[in-house]
């Protein structure tokens, strides 16, 4: 079985210090949280960025500032910028971090009702546009899927040349408006991707660690972090992203999975070795 790749989604675009005081906004806070996750065993930092007041932004200069600062402390880590941004942003606004030519970036594969009047828009043309940009720049997309239909969309657009193989999926489970985080639904998504594809599971809220165990046993990979869940256990706030990663490492050891280094993660995902 392949070694386990752990991704840390350190801040997201919506979670606030009101939810957990350790949620990072500033450059220094993002470095602190990325380093805590990296030192605990994360190979990938999934990155949204904020201004110092917590407002989400896709400004490429802010991304560069934070990415450079993280690389200074964690030189071999894989940084995976989000192109999801926040609800209401334009396609070109969301794509700004791809101008920095990261190794990976996310590519959301469908539209989702986030609740109330919030709709996270990803039309077919948007997905094609993002896919073309990533192919042009040699960026490996992590295909963010919130439901089975989004897997079908990714497979169809692969046939049309907008997404290359081998594909890497991220099953985001338990989000309002998307598929639930039940084991039944994990099995459904897992059985719907190509045999040569890899996947990560991101369970939201209480689903984070049960789904981490399912992926560990199945041979998949795991995402944890404040973007998805701010609790270490019921009612106990995590002190850092590193604490969440440490829990996954302990679970992996219980089931005999070794943890991938960034170099090993690059090999599993088909990325070029870090120069």
Domains, the chain, with CATH or none: 6-269 (3.20.20.70)
Rounded to 5 degrees, what angle do the CA atoms 216, 256, 1 make?
Answer: 65
| pLDDT tens-digit map of 225-265 | 999 999 999 999 999 999 999 999 999 999 999 999 999 99
For residue 48, whether the previous peptide bond is cis, meaning omega lies within 30 degrees of 0, is: no
Grouping H, G, I as helix, E, B as strand and the rest as coil, residue 17 is coil
What is the band of 86 on the pLDDT scale with cuts at 50, 70, 90?
confident
What is the band of 85 on the pLDDT scale with cuts at 50, 70, 90?
confident
Closest CA to 33 of 25, 41, 24, 42: 24
| pLDDT tens-digit map of 11-28 | 999 999 999 999 999 999
Going from the C-alpha of 254 to that of each of 215, 247, 249, 257, the distances in angstroms are 13, 11, 9, 8
Q: Is the pLDDT of residue 105 over 90?
A: yes
Mean per-residue pLDDT over the chain, rounded: 97
Per the CB < 8 A criterion, the answer to whether 126 and 93 are in contact is: no
| pLDDT tens-digit map of 110-141 | 999 988 888 999 999 999 999 999 999 999 99
- Torsion 239-241-244-248 (CA) sign: negative
Q: For residue 154, with 0-12 CB atoms within 10 Å meaning exposed, 13-18 middle and 19 or more buried, which class applies? A: buried
pLDDT the model gives residue 156: 98
Grouping H, G, I as helix, E, B as strand and the rest as coil, residue 238 is coil
């Amino acid at each position: 079985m392949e070694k386990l790749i752990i991704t840390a989604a350190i801040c997201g675009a919506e979670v606030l210090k009101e939810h957990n005081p350790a949620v990072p906004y500033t450059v220094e806070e993002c470095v602190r949280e990325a380093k805590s996750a990296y030192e605990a065993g994360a190979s990938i930092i999934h990155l949204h960025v904020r201004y110092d007041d917590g407002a989400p932004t896709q400004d490429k200069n802010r991304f560069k500032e934070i990415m450079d600062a993280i690389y200074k402390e964690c030189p071999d880590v894989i940084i995976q910028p989000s192109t999801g941004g926040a609800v209401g942003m334009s396609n070109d606004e969301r794509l700004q971090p791809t101008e920095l030519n990261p190794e990976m970036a996310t590519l959301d594969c469908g539209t989702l009702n986030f609740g109330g009047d919030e709709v996270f828009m990803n039309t077919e043309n948007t997905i094609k546009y993002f896919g073309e940009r990533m192919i042009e720049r040699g960026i490996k997309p992590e295909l963010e899927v919130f439901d089975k239909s989004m897997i079908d969309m990714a497979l169809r657009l692969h046939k049309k040349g907008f997404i290359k193989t081998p594909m890497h999926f991220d099953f985001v489970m338990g989000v309002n408006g998307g598929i639930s985080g039940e084991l039944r639904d994990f099995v459904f998504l897992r059985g719907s991707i190509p045999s040569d594809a890899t996947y990560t599971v991101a369970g939201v809220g209480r689903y984070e660690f049960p789904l981490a165990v399912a992926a560990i046993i199945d041979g998949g990979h795991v995402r944890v972090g404040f973007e998805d869940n701010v609790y270490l256990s019921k009612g106990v706030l995590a002190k850092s992203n590193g604490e969440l990663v440490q829990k996954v490492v302990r679970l992996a050891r219980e089931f005999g999975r070794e943890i991938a280094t960034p170099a090993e993660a690059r090999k599993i995902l088909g990325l070029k070795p870090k120069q």
